[in-house]
Amino acid sequence: MTISMFSASVPVFTKMLSNLSYLLEKAEANAASRKFDTAVLVPYRLAPDMLPFAFQIRIACDAAKLTFARVAGLDVPKFDDSETTFAELKERIQKTLAFIATVKPEDINGKENAVVTFKAGPIERTLSGEDYLKHWATPNVYFHIVTAYNILRHNGVDLGKTDYLVGKI
């Protein structure tokens, strides 16, 4: 049995972005119980040379939605990259999920050999659609979600592996 491009992307990105939204909900509850403003977490980073929390959310969303632009040739919504609150970050996740929900199997299935050329910093890369999904987009989504998880966990939010992998039960 073959796994389709659709089944390897749409449900996977939907699940992980939904879990990311749940992590933000848990962080809000934690902040309320500890009596601090979640705004302090938005610019937080684990190292001086890494992108802050808000960027982790933005990039996770962008990596997911750009998959369908680059592989399937779909028009993807553009976001302002101006989120400064948890509410705005959660809204970005929801807008990304709403876009992903419009992707149909016929939009991406059969695009394994599509040529995907994109910039990664100063470097231009070219991959097949399948390689882009498996070796660029999916790891990128996971990387930025787990980095957001790590920032929250480092700041005392009561998160565990199940929150990351399963989300809201």
Domains: count for the chain: 1
Separation between Cα atoms, residue 96 and residue 59, nearest integer Å: 11
Residue 81 lies in a domain: no
The CATH number of residue 165's host domain is 1.20.120.450
Contact status, residue 21 vs residue 90, Cβ threshold 8 Å? yes
Residue 112 lies in a domain: yes
Which of 57, 25, 37, 27 minimizes the C-alpha distance to 152? 27
Please report, for residues 24, 73, 127, the alpha-carbon distance to residue 113 in angstroms, rounded to integers and kept in the order given. 36, 13, 9
Contact status, residue 113 vs residue 92, Cβ threshold 8 Å? no
**What is residue 27's three-state secondary structure?**
helix
Whole-number CA gyration radius for the chain: 16
Nearby residues of 80 by Cβ (< 8 Å), 6 or more positions away? none
pLDDT band at 1 (very low <50, low <70, confident <90, very high): low
Confidence at residue 2, expressed as pLDDT on a 0 to 100 scale: 83
Contact status, residue 54 vs residue 44, Cβ threshold 8 Å? no
Average pLDDT over residues 157-161: 95
Mean per-residue pLDDT of the chain: 96
Residue 84 lies in a domain: no
Residue 151 pLDDT exceeds 70: yes
Range of the domain at 125: 1-28+51-75+99-169
Average pLDDT over residues 12-38: 97
Separation between Cα atoms, residue 156 and residue 148, nearest integer Å: 13
pLDDT in tens, 103-146: 999 999 999 999 999 998 899 999 999 999 999 999 999 999 99
Contact status, residue 164 vs residue 146, Cβ threshold 8 Å? yes
Using a pLDDT cut of 90, give the percent of the chain over it.
96
Residue 101 pLDDT exceeds 90: yes
Confidence at residue 112, expressed as pLDDT on a 0 to 100 scale: 97
pLDDT in tens, 39-75: 999 999 999 999 999 999 999 999 999 999 999 999 9
Maximum C-alpha span of the chain: 52
Confidence at residue 169, expressed as pLDDT on a 0 to 100 scale: 80
Residue 87 lies in a domain: no
Contact status, residue 151 vs residue 40, Cβ threshold 8 Å? no
Residue 113 lies in a domain: yes
